[in-house]
């Protein structure tokens, strides 16, 4: 079985073909980072406009580059939630057009589920495992009991960690997305400034990054002569300290010895280094996607789509995008019994 993955939930227009036997057969991605950068964050209207403008060209290019004849696609998997609604609708409308045209099923995919399974493009996970999603929109812990069965364990009470990176970068004048630039500068600096570690000892698996972000913005305004590298290193250390202490807590409390960390911020060099150290010290299996699959991409959508298809789930012509269906509900809506409604 093969599928065309379609991702348009935020600022990447991405398509990929994944075959359950042969693996990835083609992938194409267009980032809108340059378009949003002057605004310091993603502008929803611009995002939808760019997806609309580019998706057919990308499909055409994939058609020319991909060794699979796209006429032989057997299914289409599309991110339907969560995300920017108009952007999601571009992907869903495109996926339905391909599905009608070829007479193949369309499969709804939850964006966070796609991130969780991004390290398993060509392998099968062992269950249960813990998943920490760290992205521009989410910072959430889940217990993954099996594909489509998730237990929410804790998450951010305010800003997502990637969002905090992006907002701090905006104040530092570093453009969007902020994570990769702050990460690069932080490697060259010293974490000499003290910043809070919100909720580090809260006794649960929740996070709060908005206070840290505000403290960082005040620090930037106060320390006018500070080196950007040192400011970034101080911020990055505070963020990673909090994430690591919560990971330690999650593993200790659940006793689950497998951890997936996925989403854009899982590309962070200090986070990857500290997670690897912690996994070695505590003896759990750490599973992180390769760098190119940390941020949004269509291969992970295709993978999650193939897994949902294995459950026998396909959508009808009334499929639509939704800005915010919680992951733990998605399996009930789009599980073997659900079929699109609660």
CA distance 134 to 141: 9
296 binds Zn ion (CB under 5 A): yes
- Picking from 32, 16, 118, 122, the residue whose alpha carbon sits closest to that of residue 65 is 16
Q: Which of 135, 148, 156, 234 binds ligand KG4 (CB under 6 A)?
A: 135
In the complex, what is the shortest distance from the CB of residue 109 to ligand KG4, in angstroms, rounded to a whole number?
Answer: 13
Q: Residue 12 interacts with Zn ion (CB under 5 A)?
A: no
Q: Is 268 in the site for Zn ion (CB under 5 A)?
A: no
CA 65/CA 60 separation, integer angstroms: 9
From residue 64, give the alpha-carbon distance in Å to each of 28, 53, 59, 67, 123. 11, 19, 9, 8, 28
Q: Which residue lies nearer to Zn ion by CB, 68 or 293?
A: 293
Decide: is 99 part of the binding site for ligand KG4 (CB under 6 A).
no
Binding residues among 162-191 for ligand KG4 as defined by CB under 6 A:
162, 165-166, 177-180, 183
Which residue's CB is nearer to ligand KG4, number 4 or number 160?
A: 160
x/- string (CB under 5 A) for Zn ion, residues 129-148? ------x-------------
Q: Least CB distance from residue 111 to Zn ion, whole Å?
A: 6
Q: Are 309 and 26 in contact (CB under 8 A)?
A: no
Question: Which pair of tokens denotes residue 54?
Answer: 């580019």
Burial class (CB in 10 A: 0-12, 13-18, 19+), 171: middle
Q: Which is nearer to ligand KG4, 68 or 325 (CB)?
A: 325
Please count the residues of this chain forming the interface with ligand KG4, following the rule CB under 6 A: 19
323 contacts 144 by C-beta, under 8 angstroms: no
Interface ranges with ligand KG4 (CB under 6 A): 10, 135-137, 162, 165-166, 177-180, 183, 263-265, 267-268, 295-296
């Amino acid at each position: 079985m093969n599928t065309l993955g379609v991702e348009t939930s935020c600022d990447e227009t991405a398509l990929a073909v994944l075959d359950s036997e042969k693996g990835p057969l083609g992938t194409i991605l267009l980032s809108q980072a340059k378009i949003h950068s002057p605004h310091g964050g993603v502008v929803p209207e611009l995002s939808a406009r760019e997806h609309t403008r580019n998706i057919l060209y990308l499909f055409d290019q994939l058609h020319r580059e991909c060794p699979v004849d796209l006429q032989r696609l057997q299914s289409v998997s599309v991110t339907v939630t969560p995300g920017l609604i108009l952007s999601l609708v571009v992907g869903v409308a495109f996926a339905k057009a391909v599905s009608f045209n070829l007479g193949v099923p369309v499969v709804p995919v939850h964006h966070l589920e796609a991130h969780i399974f991004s390290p398993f493009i060509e392998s099968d996970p062992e269950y249960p495992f813990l998943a920490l999603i760290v992205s521009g929109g989410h910072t959430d812990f889940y217990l993954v009991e099996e594909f489509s069965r998730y237990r929410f364990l804790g998450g951010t009470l305010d800003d997502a960690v990637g969002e905090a990176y992006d907002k701090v970068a905006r104040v530092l004048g570093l453009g969007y997305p902020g994570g990769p630039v702050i990460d690069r500068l932080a490697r060259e600096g010293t974490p000499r400034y003290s910043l809070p570690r919100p909720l580090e000892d809260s006794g649960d698996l929740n996070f709060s990054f908005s206070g840290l972000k505000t403290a960082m913005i005040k620090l930037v305004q106060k320390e006018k002569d500070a080196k950007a590298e040192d400011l970034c290193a101080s911020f990055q250390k505070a963020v990673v300290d909090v994430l690591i202490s919560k990971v330690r807590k999650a593993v200790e409390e659940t006793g689950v010895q497998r951890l997936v960390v996925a989403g854009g911020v899982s590309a962070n060099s200090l986070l990857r280094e500290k997670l690897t150290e912690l996994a070695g010290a505590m003896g759990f299996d750490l599973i992180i996607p390769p760098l190119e699959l940390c941020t949004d991409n269509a291969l992970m959508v295709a993978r999650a789509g193939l897994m949902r298809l294995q459950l026998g789930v396909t959508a009808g012509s009334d499929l639509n995008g939704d800005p915010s269906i919680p992951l733990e509900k998605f399996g009930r809506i789009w599980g073997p019994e659900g079929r699109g409604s609660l």
